[in-house]
Amino acid sequence: MSIVSIIGATTWGITIGRLLANKGAAVAIWTRTEARARELNKGLQQYPTNPAFIKNITFTSHSDKALHNADFAIWAVPAQSLRHTIQQIANHIAPSMIHVSLAKGLEADSGKRMSEVIAEEIPDTASDQICVLSGPNLSQEINRGLPATSVLAAHKADIARKAHELFHAPNFAIFTSDDIIGVELCGALKNIIALGAGMVDGLGLGDNAKATLITFGWAEVTSLGLALGARPASFYGLAGLGDLIATCAGPQSRNHYVGREVASGRPLAEVKAAMSNVAEGIDTTVAAHHLATRLDLEVPIITLIYRVLFESLPPVEITYRFKDGLKPEASV
């Protein structure tokens, strides 16, 4: 039986915890406060039909208990919180642990991927022990038992095999890849395009316009990813195109929601304050914009989304940009 520590009682972290506990893994989920841990442990009684699940999962605010004897450390905190969270609990991390990142974002200040942050903050951990899980994974559907797939990226085949065995389930099929850079970038950057898709929907521009923005935007994402060392195939697989479709489709996507609300006239700060979960695409847009500038890449869609979010560009300018064929800056 695998012993699993999930760092972060986020929606996705709890979803993965339930999935693994149902498979028989011993799962401890670390929360930031003891009050939150008590609340979630009490909530386990909502699952009386699955006593094995209740037996196999626990919530705790004590990092030493959460990480005790763990074979896997699964990082489920938002991208902007990962570095600080690791620093908080690093003393309880064993060198033998396999690390799995679930966050789909880039660090805003540095533009770094989450596997890079883990490697920097846990220097005793070999980079070969760090994995990434990413794909079209809407938590609500997985919690309902609907079928889903995901990509597990790792540098070494034996680490990929161990992680595959942990996650693979009848309704959660896992495919493996050794393109960690590509899989991570796909998961992070598609959120920017989902923000744009939400803006198009919020402006009522229709599906033709949304398809155009997604197509051109994904070409920009692919170019940026290749410049950062990713492989082209990843952007047209489950972690790329698959996740893009799920995230741009609409109501279950946080990033699509943010884009739609901003386009309707609500200030970004107000939209964020009203949300109980994090829309990773917001900070990732900052990181991607800075990376593209540094690499001297022309990314008009990403730049347009950045300007609407952070430079007070009126969302209606998106409409005018379509009339100009979505060309760089000409109409703004």
Q: What are the DSSP calls for 192-244, one per residue? A: HHHHHHHHHHHTT-HHHHHHHHHHHHHHHHHHHHHHTT--GGGGGSIIIIIHH
Does residue 332 lie in a domain region? no
Torsion of CA 240, 283, 269, 323, to 10 degrees: -60
Task: Using the 3D structure, point to which of 136, 157, 179 is the last residue of a domain.
Answer: 179
Nearest to 130, CA basis, from 112, 148, 110:
112
| Same domain? 191 vs 170 | no
| Same domain? 137 vs 207 | no
Distances (CA, A) of 75 to 19, 29, 103: 15, 10, 7
pLDDT tens string, the chain, 332 residues long: the values are 799 999 999 999 999 999 999 999 999 999 999 999 988 888 776 655 555 556 789 999 999 999 999 999 999 999 999 999 999 998 999 999 999 999 999 999 999 999 999 999 998 777 789 999 999 999 999 989 899 999 999 999 999 999 999 999 999 999 999 999 999 999 999 999 999 999 999 999 999 999 999 999 999 999 999 999 999 999 999 999 999 999 998 678 999 999 999 999 999 999 999 998 999 999 999 999 999 999 999 999 999 999 999 999 999 989 888 777 776 554 33
Domain that holds residue 69: 3-179
In the residue annotation, 190 being an active-site residue is answered as: yes
Q: How far apart, in whole angstroms, are the C-alpha atoms of residue 143 and residue 76?
A: 16
Say what the pTM is: 0.92
The half-sphere exposure of 28 on its side-chain side, counting CA atoms within 13 A, is 17
Task: Using the 3D structure, point to which of 179, 210, 232 is the last residue of a domain.
Answer: 179
Q: Give the chain's end-to-end CA distance (angstroms, integer).
A: 58
Overall domain count for the chain:
2
Does residue 331 lie in a domain region? no
Does residue 43 lie in a domain region? yes
| Same domain? 188 vs 66 | no
8 A C-beta contact, residue 63 and residue 75: no
Among residues 23, 104, 112, 190, which one is catalytic? 190
Q: What is the CATH number of the domain that holds 85?
A: 3.40.50.720
Give the sheet arrangement for strand 148-153, strand by strand. Answer: 57-60, 26-30, 3-7, 72-75, 98-101, 130-134, 148-153, 172-177
Does residue 329 lie in a domain region? no
